[in-house]
Amino acid sequence: MIARAGRRLATGLLAAAVILAPARPAAAQAQNPAAPFVGRPVADVRLEIEGEAGESPELLPLIDTPVGQPLRLDQVRSSINRLLSPSLARFDDVVVTAEDVAGGIRLTYRLSPRHPVVDLVISGSPGVDAGELRRQLLARFSGLPPTQRLATVEEAALTLLTNQGYLDARVTARVVESHVPHQAVLDLDVQSGALATVGEVSVTGQSPLPAATVIDRVGARPGTPWRPRDAQTQLAAIADQLRELGYYQAIAQYQQSRNASGAVDVTLVVDAGPQVDLRFTGDPPPGSREDLVPIQRERSADVDLLEDSRRRIESLLEDQGYRDAQAPYTREERNDGALLVITYDITRGPRYRVGRVVWPPDLQLPERTLVEALGVTAGGPYSRAQVTRGMARVRAAYLLQGFHRVEANADDVVVDGATDAGEPLVTIRPAIQEGPRGTIREVTVTYGATHTVPEATLLGVMRSRPGQPFVRLDLARDLQAVTRVYLDRGSRTPSIRIVPDISEDGRDVRLDVEVTEGPQVLVGEIVVVGNRSIDVASVLDEITLHPGQPFGLEAEQESRARLSRLGIFRRVDIIQENRLPGETRATIIVSVEELPATTLGFGGGLEVGRRPRSSGGRLVDRLEFAPRGFFEITRRNLGGRNRQVSLFSRLALKPRTRVDPEDDGPLFGFSEYRVDLTFREERAFGTNTSLLVGFSSEQAIRTSFNFVRRQGSITALRELRPGLSVTGRYALDFSRLFDEAIAPEDQPLIDRLFPQVRLSILSTGVLWDRRNRPLSPTHGTLASADVEVAVRGIGSEVGYEKTFLQWLGFKALSDAPQPRSVVAVRAQLGLARGFERTVLVVDAIGRPVLGPDGQPLEQTVADLPASQRFFAGGSTTVRGFQFDRLGVPEVLNAEGLSVGGNALVVLNAELRTVATTLFGRNLSVVGFVDGGNVFARASDLDLSRIRGAVGFGARYDSPLGPLRLDFGFKLDRRLIGGVRERGWEYHLSIGEIF
């Protein structure tokens, strides 16, 4: 690709040099072919795409031959280089021509656009389903096939057709171009020919399956269509069946040949081989035979597997102290080769234990440090492998302390006595040659011809410093750190070496940092290309690269990350344009590809769950089904800036939950809905703050009440640094409760006095996210703190203060890029307090109630409205309990319904393990422990009253997100209203719990 781009560039430059030269005498041309035009003013610049003139405003910033300026050939070269840039990827060739016009010359850039292949089309007579053939080809090439190798595409299509029985198929591939837009389709003309049929069928080989059974399962009967792929699938299943029966050397395959009539004669080769019998003699270790010799799991008994199993058994026994363990195996054929007996004869020998560890005298490292590194305890089983690993850790401990010539091993191991049980005791005598301890005496910097970075700056980023131990591992880290300093300062090709000068006795080390900086690249012009809706200023405001400053690696990476985090670009590239020799300023091309300005989303499903319903005067849990759906639309880049407007709505049709089913009326008599309209602007008012304005309306069901809420809010979010952000928010909230399931006398006073409440809320929060990714993280932490207050002085009918703290942690159990097992933990703490307010007591029609003294009666309210109290229980908190059904007795009524509380504690721990794949996506199993509770007052919070649950579940990585099924079991079942709680709950939902 690079070579081809270079050839195109050279072709363009040559064409420019030749075409720019007018018809002049040969002598003049030989002296300077372009002399007549170089230096003349450019009067006009035009673009032609496939011979048609166009404005192409997105391309004009790439043209480096400005109107009104004298023509320079290096500017022509720069323009061609930009137009052929791989990041732009729009043109295959550029030819520049010039002509005389009034006031100077007119330059015309004639562009030959690329025609990217956007689709694969199946034409002709494919015989098979064209859509299925297209799908298989796309899967074969992981997308659209490469058009540079059409023969490969034809061969792949022929293979698919042959596997379907079209043995005489012909495929011709061609690229069909279209214009405006410039694109192409890959057309496969398929002539499948006749479908092959089966001629004669025979079965060879020895197996317990009758020949008729084999033919019947393969479906290869004379006169029927011959489909090789289906036959191979059935034969593979036959081989698997034989291996399940213990025939681990079974083969099942076919051979085919065309006969004179054109039919296919088929030979089915099914040979089971010997049945394998695995046996153990001697003294095998405890455990499953399959774990020791996994021939059944691997469906194989080859020599490599048997040898690996022998080593595995011996290593297992050696780790248990059986130093002399042996596990040889034999292979014996019996019954005329029908049976293969594999026998492992296991001899443990005596079990050795560690008696003592005798360290060499006068070692410079403390013995405690060495003992911890060795990891061997007296009285424990002696393992040669464990000692070897421990001595490697001992050597590493010495190296980190500056003993750069240390030698450490444990070859001198002797048997010294025995235990009371007669087990030999081993004395371990580590052999350690410490060598000299190197200390860094001086660190100097030697520069090349020039330097711009002070020596103190370089020494400040290094771990190796005078007076510190000489650690070679630190040299590699220091090399990276010093190199990064130069890369961040725009020196893109620094040459750095750190050379240690060690004295003869090895005690004094002097480090010389040899630096050849290379030229520093400064940012010249910044050109933005590819943007259509969003303006250039919005892109330039976001990046940290600025003209005149160094083109540093950190600034480049941060600029790319900032643009990517905006969520409005599909692709972001930042490229340095090739510079002329000696040129210090580089033109930086920021190439972006925008996401569609408008996106739509919609979907539907069925919600299944158990909800409490009143039946016959008591509360029962009924299984309910509720159809639901959502619709959302987002418009980005409003006004050419990074602004967007989103509308999200969802609707679920549910039964009314707290009436008898016989009197319920329509099956779906209650509409649960939510509508959100939001406006978001990044870098609002020219600052680094994001602004979010939202309006929402919702109607929903809670366990003990239904509610309607209307809310308007404005939120400001500022990212202080990657992963750390703060928010400030104001919200005006109107909430109304209805269909309360809890009797009025059991309700908090605030719910009786304010069934409809207005809240004016100020809040702030901080979020520190150090997870490796936001979805399905494998390591890292997330911490957040939110504080909100509602005050009557700014329009709230009641006042309160509320704090919510949360911490999440993730840890993979291996260092693999995609670890199979992850531990995830979460802790939540919520605390709230209501402000006191005195209100008049009114009757049913709103008139003040008078006391004995004739004065209006008053009551004091000091609680939170129901919409702001804490609730727990369900799929997102403690999974052994139903939704909103967890709480201390003070917040539960006689039927177990919660009124909510002012304090909340939730603790979760999960072990997530990928078990297998299903339809190409991960299927995971989860074990969890949950705990938590809701308390009436913050002062009532008592960790000894936390209720717990344990359980297990499954996760399927569906296209909609993790499909989650959890089963939670209470650790203690209690009596509520004279009825013992149900012992377990299940939860089916989409998305992880956290």
Q: Kindly tell me if the per-residue pLDDT of 823 is higher than 60.
A: yes
C-beta separation of 264 from 194 below 8 A: no
Higher model confidence: residue 544 or residue 896? 544
DSSP string, 832-855: EEEPPEEEE-B-TTSPBPB-TTSS
C-alpha–C-alpha distance, residues 232 and 838, integer Å: 83
C-beta separation of 459 from 465 below 8 A: yes
Q: What angle do CA 842, 846, 851 make, to 5 degrees?
A: 30
Q: Kindly tell me if the per-residue pLDDT of 813 is higher than 50.
A: yes
Look at residue 842 in the predicted model and tell me its pLDDT.
Answer: 66
Higher model confidence: residue 933 or residue 377? 933
When the pLDDT of each residue in the chain is averaged and rounded to a whole number, the result is 87
Higher model confidence: residue 483 or residue 29? 483
Look at residue 1 in the predicted model and tell me its pLDDT.
Answer: 39
Least confident of 66-70, 437-441, 575-579, 689-693: 575-579
Nearest to 562 by CA among 536, 540, 589, 543: 543
Q: Kindly tell me if the per-residue pLDDT of 601 is higher than 80.
A: yes
Nearest to 195 by CA among 125, 122, 123: 125
Higher model confidence: residue 227 or residue 24? 227
The owner of tokens 């010249």 is: 524
The pLDDT of 654-677, averaged and rounded, is: 65
Separation of CA 512 from chain center: 42
Instruction: Place 580 in a pLDDT band, splitting at 50, 70 and 90.
Output: low
Q: Kindly tell me if the per-residue pLDDT of 2 is higher than 70.
A: no
C-alpha–C-alpha distance, residues 107 and 945, integer Å: 83
Look at residue 931 in the predicted model and tell me its pLDDT.
Answer: 97
**674-712 pLDDT, tens digit each:** 999 999 998 888 788 999 999 999 998 887 788 899 999
The pLDDT of 404-409, averaged and rounded, is: 94
Give the alpha-carbon dihedral of 982, 984, 988, 994, to 10 degrees.
120
Look at residue 201 in the predicted model and tell me its pLDDT.
Answer: 94
Q: Kindly tell me if the per-residue pLDDT of 8 is higher than 70.
A: no
C-alpha–C-alpha distance, residues 656 and 701, integer Å: 9
C-alpha–C-alpha distance, residues 593 and 97, integer Å: 30
**What are 824's strand-pairing partners?**
810, 910
**558-579 pLDDT, tens digit each:** 999 888 888 888 889 998 876 6
Range picked from 158-172, 881-895, 909-923 for highest mean pLDDT: 158-172
Instruction: Place 671 in a pLDDT band, splitting at 50, 70 and 90.
Output: confident
The pLDDT of 167-173, averaged and rounded, is: 94
Instruction: Place 619 in a pLDDT band, splitting at 50, 70 and 90.
Output: low
The pLDDT of 757-784, averaged and rounded, is: 92
Look at residue 579 in the predicted model and tell me its pLDDT.
Answer: 66
The pLDDT of 368-385, averaged and rounded, is: 92
C-alpha–C-alpha distance, residues 935 and 944, integer Å: 12
Q: Kindly tell me if the per-residue pLDDT of 921 is higher than 90.
A: no
Sequence-ordered list of residues with C-beta below 8 angstroms from that of 719, at least 6 positions apart, any chain: 688, 690, 725
Q: Kindly tell me if the per-residue pLDDT of 210 is higher than 80.
A: yes
Least confident of 504-518, 746-760, 885-899, 920-934: 746-760
The pLDDT of 807-831, averaged and rounded, is: 91
Q: Kindly tell me if the per-residue pLDDT of 497 is higher than 90.
A: yes
Q: Kindly tell me if the per-residue pLDDT of 954 is higher than 90.
A: yes
Look at residue 211 in the predicted model and tell me its pLDDT.
Answer: 92
The pLDDT of 516-521, averaged and rounded, is: 89
Alpha helix (H) residue ranges in 320-463: 367-374, 384-400, 455-460
| Model pTM score | 0.65
Q: Kindly tell me if the per-residue pLDDT of 350 is higher than 90.
A: yes
Look at residue 513 in the predicted model and tell me its pLDDT.
Answer: 95
Higher model confidence: residue 922 or residue 60? 922
The pLDDT of 480-499, averaged and rounded, is: 93
Instruction: Report the percent of the chain where pLDDT is more than 90.
Output: 53
Look at residue 269 in the predicted model and tell me its pLDDT.
Answer: 95
Length of the chain: 994
Look at residue 290 in the predicted model and tell me its pLDDT.
Answer: 84
DSSP string, 126-146: -SS-HHHHHHHHHHHTTSSPP
